Amino acid sequence: MDQLVADTLAGSVAHVWPFFGEVGWPDKTFTANIAREENRVKVSVLAPGPIGSVLDTIPEHDHMPNSLLAVSEVHGTLLFDVTRIGGRRVVGGSRASSRHYYARAIAVGFSADRLKSSKMYEMTAYFPGMEYWSSLTGSTTEVERDQFGRPKVITTRIEAAPEHVSQLSSARSIVLSTHFAVTGPKDDQRVFTPLSISSVSRSPMDWRVHMNTLISIQNLVSLCWDGFVSADGGYVRLDLVDPEEISNAKFWSDRLMEVPVGTQPPDPHQSFPLLRYETIGGIDGIRRWLRLSAEHYRATGPLTARHRISRHTPGESRLLDICTGIEYWVNYHTKKGRAWAKQKNRKDVQPERLARHLGSDFTEFVGVPQKWARLLWKRYEALKHEPVYHYDAREIAVLADSAQVLLLCAVMNRVAGTKVATKVICESPRNDHLKWDVREVVTGERYPPVPTDDSVFRQS
């Protein structure tokens, strides 16, 4: 975390304009305290009048502001992504009225008198530990050894990786590269070279545009690692008078940089991702994901919710969510006239059609795709329409997990532009146990039967 951000979150007093950007905002300035409270930045404003007065001098103070501008002991600060307001009104008595604003993002380190609006040219987040996933390297180290094999000279070269750029439109683009920084005293220095992901626009845009882009990309990376991949720092280019081409404010957002309650980061014992950057198609795959998740959230939402909302939902809820996504995905392509999505007969349910479309890799994963798909859909229909339905919790959990693999394969094939994604997912060691659990649920046999004669040695 950058020092300016850390100092701001630790707590400071400031002059605050709660209605920055609205009509007459320069005349509505208040003294306030800024400090972190759990995963929010809390701005506490006292009533400007005498003790016991209400906040009548703040017109329409109950509405949610788009952003707040502050000049604190630390630096110029923009607080945005405001999600809640609170406080206390006191009429008479010996306590002052107050108003609290809770923001989920801040930008620190700019001249407040130069800020024109809360719009931004760029928003960048740093993701450490992603070198293996992306193959974008920000540093290299060479070691010279003596005749006994002991290190004699260690040379570290730090250099930003070449930028990977993809145009989202004529006015917007995404950029992947590496950031680098060296901190600490000379005898205890730390080299920080994380993956840098940026949302860039030619003209200043609403901060929500950039934030939603980064959140969507983070969802994709989290799917690739099967855990919430959090950012660690970043910067924004604000809409300033005479804007600069480089960073002009340090950035913090709890949506990007704090692990949500109910989720968890990638398993520290898993040093490899489920899908790599090259497997999903590189920067063009990320662009396709952004378009896909925006147009088909009903299919991608059940997948990303595992890392954004809650990882440990009951098997019944997960099966309903995932099957709803499968139903939407297949029905959408049926209406579009895709041959693979057409129903062959009355018993040809949606997961069966999708499994057939994915091909032999998924067939090998579930063993008997037709039997698996019809069992899955039978349980799905029962959970939807039979309020007193009693089920086997383990069976439902296994079916939900395998249905998630089906939907993930379909979505990632579209992102990658090839069926290689299905092969990688189905053959991943992460899914070995699930593969045999599915076969046990569907066929009653966990492992293939052992031959009782020497037929296995005979050549066909």
> Is the confidence at residue 449, as pLDDT, over 70?
no
Using alpha carbons, select from 265, 287, 264 the residue that is nearest to residue 216: 287
Q: Predicted confidence band at 23 (pLDDT cuts at 50, 70, 90)?
A: confident
Q: What gap in Å lies between CA 32 and CA 53, rounded to an integer?
A: 17
Using alpha carbons, select from 124, 61, 128 the residue that is nearest to residue 88: 61
What are the tens digits of pLDDT across the range 49-74? 544 444 444 545 567 888 999 999 99
Using alpha carbons, select from 15, 102, 103, 78 the residue that is nearest to residue 238: 78
Q: Predicted confidence band at 160 (pLDDT cuts at 50, 70, 90)?
A: confident
* Range among 43-57, 138-152, 271-285, 287-301 rated most confident: 287-301
The amino acid at residue 335 is: K
Average pLDDT over residues 39-52: 74
Between 329 and 137, the higher pLDDT residue: 329
Sign of the torsion angle spanned by Cα atoms 74, 77, 81, 84: positive
What pLDDT is attached to residue 446? Answer: 66
What are the tens digits of pLDDT across the range 69-98? 999 999 999 999 999 988 777 666 667 778
Helix (H, G, I), strand (E, B) or coil at 403: helix
Average pLDDT over residues 436-441: 91
User: Which residue's structure tokens are 């004669």?
Assistant: 453
* Backbone torsions φ then ψ of 366, nearest 5 degrees: -95, -10
Q: Across the strands, what pairs with 379?
A: none
What are the tens digits of pLDDT across the range 395-428? 999 999 999 999 999 999 999 999 999 999 999 9
Full-model pTM: 0.89
What pLDDT is attached to residue 136? Answer: 83
User: Which residue's structure tokens are 């107050």?
Assistant: 98
Q: Predicted confidence band at 437 (pLDDT cuts at 50, 70, 90)?
A: very high
357 near 340, Cβ under 8 Å?
Answer: yes
Encoding tokens for residue 343?
A: 């129903």
Each as own residue / partner, the long-range contacts of residues 24-33 (CB below 8 Å, 24 or more positions apart, any chain) are: 25/69, 28/58, 28/59, 30/58, 32/70
Q: What gap in Å lies between CA 271 and CA 379, rounded to an integer?
A: 35
Indicate the domain borders of the chain: 3-110, 118-257, 313-443
Name the average pLDDT for the chain: 88
Percent of the chain scoring above 70 in pLDDT: 92
Using alpha carbons, select from 100, 121, 101 the residue that is nearest to residue 110: 121
Task: Sort 41 into a burial class: Cβ within 10 Å, 0-12 / 13-18 / 19+.
Answer: buried
Q: What gap in Å lies between CA 402 and CA 326, rounded to an integer?
A: 12
Average pLDDT over residues 436-451: 78
Q: What gap in Å lies between CA 125 and CA 378, rounded to an integer?
A: 44
What pLDDT is attached to residue 424? Answer: 95
What pLDDT is attached to residue 49? Answer: 54
Please give the distance of CA 331 from its chain centroid, rounded to a whole number: 27
127: CB partners within 8 A, 6+ apart? 194, 195, 196, 197, 218, 221, 229, 230, 231, 232
What pLDDT is attached to residue 409? Answer: 97
What pLDDT is attached to residue 360? Answer: 93
Percent of the chain scoring above 90 in pLDDT: 59
Least confident of 48-57, 179-188, 291-300: 48-57
Please give the distance of CA 254 from its chain centroid, rounded to a whole number: 11
Using alpha carbons, select from 2, 87, 77, 98 the residue that is nearest to residue 34: 77
Q: What is the largest CA-CA distance in the chain?
A: 97
Q: Predicted confidence band at 448 (pLDDT cuts at 50, 70, 90)?
A: low
What are the tens digits of pLDDT across the range 201-223? 999 999 999 999 999 999 999 99
Least confident of 55-69, 187-201, 311-325, 326-340: 55-69
User: Which residue's structure tokens are 């379909």?
Assistant: 410
> Is the confidence at residue 358, as pLDDT, over 60?
yes
Between the CA atoms of 39, 45, 51 and 55, what dihedral angle is there, to the nearest 10 degrees? -110
